[in-house]
């Protein structure tokens, strides 16, 4: 199955160059292009592409505005002339952040990373389905060891409020501290009891024991609000797990 892709940039030359580079990838199908944020938001929600190339500064809505309002949850590669947004981009779990003028080798690295992520997600889903079919009874870890400075802390899993992906790392937040794990969020999800830890977004897992409330939006979207005041959007991909808890 091909990886569907949407090109979003207000400059035609930039869109044309991206298409030219993408022509080398037989496994990628460009399903459209946009030059404005509002148009991009509509196409993302309608076409549900696997991957988007997203400019930061566009007429009407910025690239970050688009990310905050879209219902679909594609992989994102930013393409921009401004380097000051890189940290914010990776906080949004972007695959990569490419500066203009685009370098073809860096472009290939970003695309290869996106394709690898997609393959890994598909393998994780396949493994999950296989486990469900055979009715695997799994014992989940009650404690994990997390590093801070030069020490390893014995952290009770039940103390974790939420986990957030940050590139290839995971930020683990408790009531009193934060830890950075070198394990990806998918790997950590495997050792968390799904009765307590629910994935609400590709980049977020929450502990329902610390969930304060769920806010529903008029467009069908949801926001989970934690007891410590932190809020997270619920992507449509993972909304079913939340709805199962509604009585």
Q: Which domain CATH number covers 215?
A: 2.40.50.1020
The residue whose two tokens read 């400059």 is 11
pLDDT band at 71; cut points 50, 70, 90 = confident
Q: Is residue 208 within 8 Å of 164, Cβ to Cβ?
A: no
Tens digit of pLDDT for each residue in 17-50?
999 999 999 999 999 999 999 999 999 999 999 9
Greatest distance between any 2 Cα atoms in the chain: 54
- Separation of alpha carbons 67 and 64, rounded Å: 5
Assess whether 118 and 185 both reside in one domain.
Answer: no
Are both 119 and 180 inside the same structural domain? no
Using a cut of 0.85, tell me whether the model's pTM lies above it: no
Q: Is the pLDDT of residue 222 over 90?
A: no
Q: What is the CATH number of the domain that holds 115?
A: 3.40.50.2300
183, two tokens: 């394990």
- Residue-level pLDDT at 137: 47
Tell me, yes or no, whether 49 lies in a domain. Answer: yes
Distance CA 199, CA 186 (A): 10
- Look at 8-22, 30-44, 55-69 and tell me which has the smallest mean pLDDT: 55-69
**Parent domain of 77:** 3-131
Structural domains in the chain (count): 2
> What's the rounded Cα separation, in Å, for the pair 152 and 60?
48
**Rounded distance between C-alpha atoms, residue 146 and residue 17, angstroms:** 44
> What phi and psi values does residue 39 have, to the nearest 5 degrees?
-65, -40
Distance CA 73, CA 82 (A): 24
Rounded to 5, what percent of the chain is helix, strand, coil?
A: 35, 30, 30
């Amino acid at each position: 199955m091909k990886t569907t892709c949407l090109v979003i940039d207000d400059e035609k030359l930039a869109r044309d160059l991206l298409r030219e580079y993408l022509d080398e990838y037989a496994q990628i199908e460009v399903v459209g292009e946009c030059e404005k944020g509002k148009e991009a938001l509509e196409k993302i929600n309608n076409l549900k592409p696997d991957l988007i190339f997203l400019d930061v500064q566009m007429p009407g809505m910025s690239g970050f505005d688009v990310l905050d309002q879209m219902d679909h949850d594609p992989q994102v590669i930013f393409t921009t002339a401004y380097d000051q947004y890189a940290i914010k981009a990776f906080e949004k779990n972007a695959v990569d952040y490419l500066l203009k003028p685009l370098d073809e080798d860096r472009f290939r690295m970003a695309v290869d990373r996106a394709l690898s992520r997609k393959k890994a997600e598909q393998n994780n889903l396949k493994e999950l389905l296989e486990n469900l079919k055979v009715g695997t009874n799994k014992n989940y870890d009650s404690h994990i060891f997390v590093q801070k400075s030069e020490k390893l802390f014995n952290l009770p899993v039940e103390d974790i409020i939420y986990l957030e992906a940050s590139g290839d790392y995971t930020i683990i937040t408790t009531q009193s501290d934060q830890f950075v794990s070198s394990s990806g969020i998918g790997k950590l999800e495997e050792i968390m009891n799904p009765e307590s830890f629910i994935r609400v977004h590709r980049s977020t897992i929450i502990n329902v024991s610390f969930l304060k409330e769920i806010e529903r939006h008029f467009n069908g979207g949801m926001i989970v609000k934690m007891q410590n005041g932190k809020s997270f959007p619920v992507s449509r991909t993972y909304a079913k797990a939340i709805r199962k808890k509604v009585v």
